[in-house]
Structure 1
Amino acid sequence: MNLATDMGIDLGTASVLVHLRGKGIVLHEPSVVAIEQQTKQVLAVGEAAQQMLGRTPGNIIATRPLREGVIADFDITEVMLRHFIGKVCDRRRLLRPRVIVCIPAATTTVEQKAVVEAVMRAGVRDAFLIEEPRAAALGAGLDIFQPSGHMVIDIGGGTTDVAVISLGETVVTESVRVGGDKFDEAIARYIKKEFNLLIGERTAEALKIEVGTAFKNNRHKEMEIRGRDMVSGLPRSFMAHTEHVLEAVQEPLESVVECVRHVLEVTPPELSGDIIDHGIVLTGGGAMIDGLDKLITAETGVNVYLADDPIGSVAIGTGIALEQLEKINHTLISPRRASNQ
């Protein structure tokens, strides 16, 4: 067996990361596929398709096959996976890889089966599923196999997973379908409602990253954005401020904080003490919004810190899980177990 073909896949709503054993993260591309509507022909996948979002003529659609952490379009997900796996395997394509794929903590058995089937049909030899917070904890460098509690908050594009982990397994977990996408939607909705300006999702995301914050008075920035005036129908520019973004994202922020609070409330007392000692680790692209660590610390009284590589933590964790496969195999979902459920 060629171990170099073993790979971990962070199959995210916003992006796909692939970790190749012995090589690290070798692919990081948006989860977007561009399709010609009449013929259903795939025109572009990943970065090339991302450039087309919101800019395609009527006969071409740029779509995300995953929504809120689960597969919304099975066939397109399979095409996307086949493309990325083929791109990574290159000349080793004949050596069908073993793959570990991350899934949100609260996915149903049906959703799990859909992921396993899509991955298997994309040409892999064996597939396993691991919950995102567990992979994120491994990727963030936590020693989750000790009899000690660690808490992880993983905020992706479509979901936020909060979990307490001890002895290599999840003790308490909760998931809300709120992530980076919901922040972007909230910003676009706020700008539309308050300033009669229609902006696209890429502009909303840029606004969140460049000037946004989750914690009052943490930063003060401004950014010129462009969109379509809802009254005149003409293009217009507008100077957006940090305060606008903070007000816009209050609702999704509250959902995340409420999820964290609830997990802390139902965590066994001994593990609660460990969490106070270790702090809470934030991972995922959505965790990088300015001041989020300070907000959760203020709301829970527990120190929160951002992982060294928030975006790559889950993918790195899948690579570590592959190396520890014998130790954690019984806790993963495999094709055989998935088909028996």
Structure 2
Amino acid sequence: MSTIHWIETHPRSARWHSESGLPLPRTVVVADDRMRAAVAYRLACEGTALLWRGDFHNARQLLSALDRRVGRTAPGAVDTAAETFRLQRRFRAHRARVLGKLLVLLDAEHGLDLRRAPDVRRAAAEAYGDFDGPLAVALSELLGVVSARQWREKGVHVPALEARIHPHYGVFAPTRSEYVDLVAQAPLPRGGRDVRVAFDLGTGTGVLAALLARRGVGQVVATDVSARARACARDNVGRLGLSGAVRVESGAELYPPGRADLVVCNPPWIPGRPASDLDLGVYDAGGGMLQGFLGGLAERLEPGGEGWLVLSDLAERLGLRSREQLMTVVGDAGLRVVGRLDARPQHARARDTDDPLHAVRAAEVTSLWRLALPVA
């Protein structure tokens, strides 16, 4: 971690932390209830961070005022969906940088020493772990941490499981049901007979691993490169009483040792560089995970086994990848397509007509591609 410095009767400092990868603020000034929104916005746009020392609820109001000044979408019009997507992503990064200039301090016990501040200690401890305070974080990020704690506590109902999944902070939540439903509906290899081992690559919350176990797979090996995701998956399979059927391992090599009758992979759907670890559930740098899954599948399948690729066509509709490119990678990996199931989007963004990418999102199709080895 880096360190920020400011003057508050005397020189002070605190460690700086940003989950979203915001850069270290070079200039920090103290702000309180007297800070006007127009002044705060100008300072934030200039790169000056505002360390809040006033009332907590007033800080939230100031953050909302900054948000209104930044706006929700990038101004102007562009010709293609790809250009719109890139423009909106740049704008979201700009918005995050501006809002991320309003800072608060967490003490060594993960608490906030501000008037009318809520108790954030449990949420901050789960997100940040132990640290020697004080720790400076963006208020916008801390509010996200608190919101994520509420999601973790109440869970997300997954109809296909008839149970709740409890996402941890920084782990992609299964709020979109279509990809889970596809895995619930797809016919198991060999008609469901003798599916002894399945791999779930990039397991996240463990929702697909749990679903496979519920469908009768003997042993599911779930992998993920993220320590947070592995802890989350273990928590969820334990809550569901499936610890004996699901084993969670590191995903540093993507595939675990051995072979499987079924390999499931739901990689990030957008080939692009993630700005931080929080983006890893959405962006697959250079399509690396997708290519790693396809390139390694043939040598990891048992005879008669299948690989299930769960993938949206959003990247194709944005012009970031073509269907021909995808099929070329499948063919080059020595695989054939034996079936495909499709699902239309059910999430709220597909119905948001104010979204600059509404037409693309409304037309999006998520598919489960059933892949197998060539017929001998």
TM-score normalised over the length of structure 1: 0.31
Q: Say which structure, 1 or 2, has more relative contact order (CA 8 Å, 6+ apart).
A: 1
**Greater helix share, 1 or 2?**
1
TM-score (norm 2): 0.29
Which one has a bigger Cα radius of gyration? 2
